[in-house]
Amino acid sequence: MSVAPSQLLNRQIPEELAVMLRRRGVEPSQAWLCVETDLNLAGQFERVFLLVFERRLIVAGMAWGDQSRLIRIDLPRDNITQVRTRGGVGGGFLEAVVSGIAVDFMTFSNGLADTFAKVARKLNDWCENKPVSVGIEDDYNPRKCPVCGMTLQFPGDVCRRCAKQGAVLWRVIKLMKPYSAKATLMMLFVLFGIALSLVPPKLTQYLIDKVLTPVLSDDGAARSDAIKWLIMLVAALLGVYVLGMVVTMIRGLLSSFVGTQISFDMRARVFDHITKLGISYHDRYSPGQLMTRISGDTAALRGFVDQLTSGFLAQLITVVAVGVIMFSLSWKLTLYTLAPAPLVIASAVFFYARVRPRYSRIWDAQSKLSGVLSTILSGIRVVKAFGQELHERNRFTGSSEHLQNSERNVEYAVWKFTPAMGLLFQLGSIIVWFVGGKDVLDSQLTLGELIAFLGYLGMFYAPLGTLTQLTTWLTSFLTAAQRTFEILDTRPDVDSSENAKSVEAQGAITFKNVTFGYNRHEPILRDVSFKIKPGEHIGIVGKSGCGKTTLVNLISRFYDTDRGQVLIDGEEIRNLNVDDLRRSIGVVLQEPFLFRGTISANITYGQHNATPEQIITSAKAANAHDFIARLPLGYDTYIGERGAGLSGGERQRISIARALLFDPKVLILDEATSNVDTESEKLIQDALVRITSGRTTIAIAHRLSTLKNCDRIFVMDRGSIIEHGSHEELMEQKGLYYRLVKIQTELSSEPSIDVLTAEDEEEKEKNAKKRKTKS
């Protein structure tokens, strides 16, 4: 037993507990492992310690009360046959098998799950009297940030607490960087357009003060001057309008270009990122939810550009520019104009806080509606087969109503807020009418100046009114942007490292003590080790849930192991380029997935430059050519969603042809024939015999008949390989494989592996006899 300091597994227990234990004859310093948990067996928060000595383990709690509760568990090592972790809801247990009985002896919350997984492994070695060590290396936990200790979403993830968080709005602005020249030009046109819009009220002032007022109050001498002024003013107004039209047109074109480009780029980035994210991410989100994010949320980013050019930014600048002019016309009237502003700002802040979550709920309702629709439509055959149209209609209506209510919730709030804001502004203009009119009467202001001021007042209040809706738009926009960045910020849990090596696999596969689980408490694979030689044919059998598919998922690196290594041709799989790796592996699944498109396009998926000759060759090898050739449009036959229009066997043969065209060194057949009829299975089996030749082949099979050609068969049970060998060797062992074959033979009218083997032998004998007769 090697013991070195470790913060996690060699903790110092509190002195008062040590004293109490010594009184009971237990010397804590002699424990080689001491670990603390945060819960007692009743599920209450309490500091509880596990102390493991050479020949016993004890569990002691801090809330010992009358001392009868000081030592909760005291187990001699010799009585324990196994220690394991078991998951509860929100936590887990350490469980020992003592004299054949499962005994929970320690509870922990999920934050300590990794620590107790380590403890269980060490205790198992201790039970088996194997060498055990505790040291500083036990403190390392790849799921924790080494700087702040925050739990990471997966090993190797960037710690959010330590990483810099960019403001959402700033990140959106940075998206415009590649188009900075066009964006700058666009903004110049925006400014120019605003400047032009300020001219007409000023011209109105001149019209009144220089043309109309002198003429109305004077004689003919003033009239000739007024005509000159009038012509100049009309010409200037015409010029402003024409120029304004040109500026608006160019600004619109630039805005459209930049906006659609940003939206396009974001769609591409989000789509790329979603496809790079690991299977575990896709396990969590439905296709419907992701569809909304790719199409809806990225489109919202386009709205940002529109807001810059004709929305809130343009209006903000207009408000400032108009404010300056108004101030130059009459500072007193301008102050009256601004009187309602503090109330407007306060209202907007309040509105922002109240409305933002409601916008999020609209998005959520849309996303849920998409999810419900996607589920119903993709399962429409099941819906019809069970006559559940009405039930599904009600489900859809429920989601639709939720969206309706969410939208109403926001819009009602908006329609209460906006008119109230309008009234506030109108109060300002009423004051201006009164004070301005009085100033004109008192000759402190010219009539032209007042009319111009009222013109500018319209220009000031109109955008200010819109600006009160800025918060509404901004919240909606920021919600969409935040969700988009949430996807982009999610790091793929399985990715090629910077120094990833290219690989052209030869097909040697090694598992070294691999443990993996989707849930930390309950490994699906436990300490699995094996070696497969290039070109070897391996069958995997076992009951449902024993880890067969999980095992092959690790070969394709859809997930990374929790412990141990997977090696391809002697190289650790994490050091290999993921794309190269997956190109070396062909997978034929139980449920073949065909895309909407032609049969030809489906076969060439992943090998788009394949020639017609190659397509036909692979289809022939997959026993698919004959049925394809019989179709009116042959390889150009368009098939529907998921291969609609073809039988299960036909779809499977197309998927085999696709895998074959890929020419992989490793072929994985995950129950490839379990969903097809016997005749199709025979055709597929014949094809598989041909295409697996010279390739490392791993076939998972429920029907054991699939395995008659395998070099070795792995028999799995609860995450471990418990038997391996050829069919004959396994039958001789009379273990689980033997039992499975017997069960299948008894239950199934279809040929078992025994029958098939016997038939095969008979056929061989017949052929041999024929050859003899001929010769």
Partner 1 sequence: MTHTIQEPETLPIDPTQIRFLTPDMCQIHLGAHDALHVTVKNERIYGGVYATRIFPVGHPGKFISLIYIGPDGKETEVGIIRELEEFPEKAVQLIQESLQRRYLVRNISKINKVGLKYGFIAFEVVTDKGPSEFFMYWQHDKAHDYGVNGKVLLDVDDNRYMIADIDQLSAREKADFQRFIYW
Establish if 42 lies at the interface with partner 1 (CB under 8 A). Answer: yes
To the nearest whole angstrom, how small is the minimum distance from the Cβ of residue 113 to partner 1? 8
Contact assessment for residue 456 and residue 325, using Cβ atoms and an 8 Å cutoff = yes
**Of these, 722, 726, 738, 742, which contacts partner 1 (CB under 8 A)?**
722
Give the Cα separation of 578 and 559 in Å (integer).
11
| Residue length of the chain | 775
Stretch of 149-157, 212-220, 592-600, 612-620 lying at the interface with partner 1 (CB under 8 A): 149-157
In the complex with partner 1, which residue's Cβ is closer, 489 or 580?
489
In the complex with partner 1, which residue's Cβ is closer, 309 or 406?
406
Establish if 407 lies at the interface with partner 1 (CB under 8 A). Answer: no
Contact assessment for residue 599 and residue 608, using Cβ atoms and an 8 Å cutoff = no
Establish if 528 lies at the interface with partner 1 (CB under 8 A). Answer: yes
Chain centroid to Cα 243, Å, comes to 49
Which residue is associated with the tokens 């200790």? 149
Element (H, E) at 108: strand 101-109
Contact assessment for residue 299 and residue 170, using Cβ atoms and an 8 Å cutoff = no
Give the Cα separation of 720 and 685 in Å (integer).
27
**Of these, 64, 110, 248, 474, which contacts partner 1 (CB under 8 A)?**
110
Q: Which of residues 599-638 bind partner 1 (CB under 8 A)?
A: none
Stretch of 153-161, 550-558, 622-630, 634-642 lying at the interface with partner 1 (CB under 8 A): 153-161
Q: Which of residues 263-322 bind partner 1 (CB under 8 A)?
A: 284-285, 289
Give the Cα separation of 566 and 547 in Å (integer).
15
Establish if 88 lies at the interface with partner 1 (CB under 8 A). Answer: yes
CA distances from 374 to 43, 178, 279, 379, 736 (A): 41, 36, 19, 8, 42
- Name the token pair of 198: 């300020």
Q: Phi and psi dihedrals of 733, rounded to 5?
A: -65, -25
Q: How many residues belong to the site for partner 1 (CB under 8 A)? A: 65
Binding mask 461-500 for partner 1 (x = CB under 8 A): -------------------------x--x-----------
To the nearest whole angstrom, how small is the minimum distance from the Cβ of residue 723 to partner 1? 7
Which residue is associated with the tokens 């008979």? 762
- Name the token pair of 65: 């009360």
**β-strand pairing of 585-588 with 666-670:** parallel
To the nearest whole angstrom, how small is the minimum distance from the Cβ of residue 66 to partner 1? 17
Direct distance between the N- and C-terminal alpha carbons of the chain, in angstroms, rounded to an integer: 72
Contact assessment for residue 623 and residue 684, using Cβ atoms and an 8 Å cutoff = yes
To the nearest whole angstrom, how small is the minimum distance from the Cβ of residue 364 to partner 1? 4
DSSP 13-66: PPHHHHHHHHHTT--GGG-SEEEEEEE-TTS-EEEEEEEE-SSEEEEEES--TT
Establish if 357 lies at the interface with partner 1 (CB under 8 A). Answer: yes
Show the CA angle centred on residue 592, arms to residues 591 and 593, nearest 5°. Answer: 110
**Of these, 7, 29, 44, 378, which contacts partner 1 (CB under 8 A)?**
44
In the complex with partner 1, which residue's Cβ is closer, 1 or 41?
41
Stretch of 93-101, 390-398, 574-582, 663-671 lying at the interface with partner 1 (CB under 8 A): 93-101
Q: Which of residues 154-173 bind partner 1 (CB under 8 A)?
A: 160-161, 165
Give the Cα separation of 149 and 539 in Å (integer).
43
Which residue is associated with the tokens 């020992």? 96
**Of these, 118, 122, 273, 526, which contacts partner 1 (CB under 8 A)?**
526
To the nearest whole angstrom, how small is the minimum distance from the Cβ of residue 80 to partner 1? 10
To the nearest whole angstrom, how small is the minimum distance from the Cβ of residue 124 to partner 1? 11
**Of these, 21, 51, 57, 73, which contacts partner 1 (CB under 8 A)?**
73
CA distances from 736 to 35, 531, 548, 626, 743 (A): 38, 21, 15, 40, 10
Give the Cα separation of 481 and 671 in Å (integer).
42
Establish if 39 lies at the interface with partner 1 (CB under 8 A). Answer: yes
**β-strand pairing of 666-670 with 71-76:** unpaired
Q: Which of residues 428-457 bind partner 1 (CB under 8 A)?
A: none
Establish if 82 lies at the interface with partner 1 (CB under 8 A). Answer: yes
Establish if 104 lies at the interface with partner 1 (CB under 8 A). Answer: yes
**Of these, 587, 721, 740, 741, which contacts partner 1 (CB under 8 A)?**
721
In the complex with partner 1, which residue's Cβ is closer, 739 or 764?
739
Contact assessment for residue 39 and residue 109, using Cβ atoms and an 8 Å cutoff = yes
To the nearest whole angstrom, how small is the minimum distance from the Cβ of residue 700 to partner 1? 18
To the nearest whole angstrom, how small is the minimum distance from the Cβ of residue 627 to partner 1? 40
To the nearest whole angstrom, how small is the minimum distance from the Cβ of residue 716 to partner 1? 11
To the nearest whole angstrom, how small is the minimum distance from the Cβ of residue 27 to partner 1? 23
To the nearest whole angstrom, how small is the minimum distance from the Cβ of residue 24 to partner 1? 18
- Name the token pair of 425: 């502004």
* Rg of the chain on CA atoms, in Å: 38
**β-strand pairing of 133-134 with 2-3:** parallel
Establish if 84 lies at the interface with partner 1 (CB under 8 A). Answer: yes
To the nearest whole angstrom, how small is the minimum distance from the Cβ of residue 103 to partner 1? 4
Residues at the contact surface with partner 1, assessed by CB under 8 A: 39, 41-45, 73, 75, 81-82, 84, 86, 88-91, 93, 95, 97-104, 107, 109-111, 113, 150-151, 153, 160-161, 165, 284-285, 289, 353-354, 356-358, 360-361, 364, 368, 486, 489, 513, 526-530, 718, 720-724, 735-736
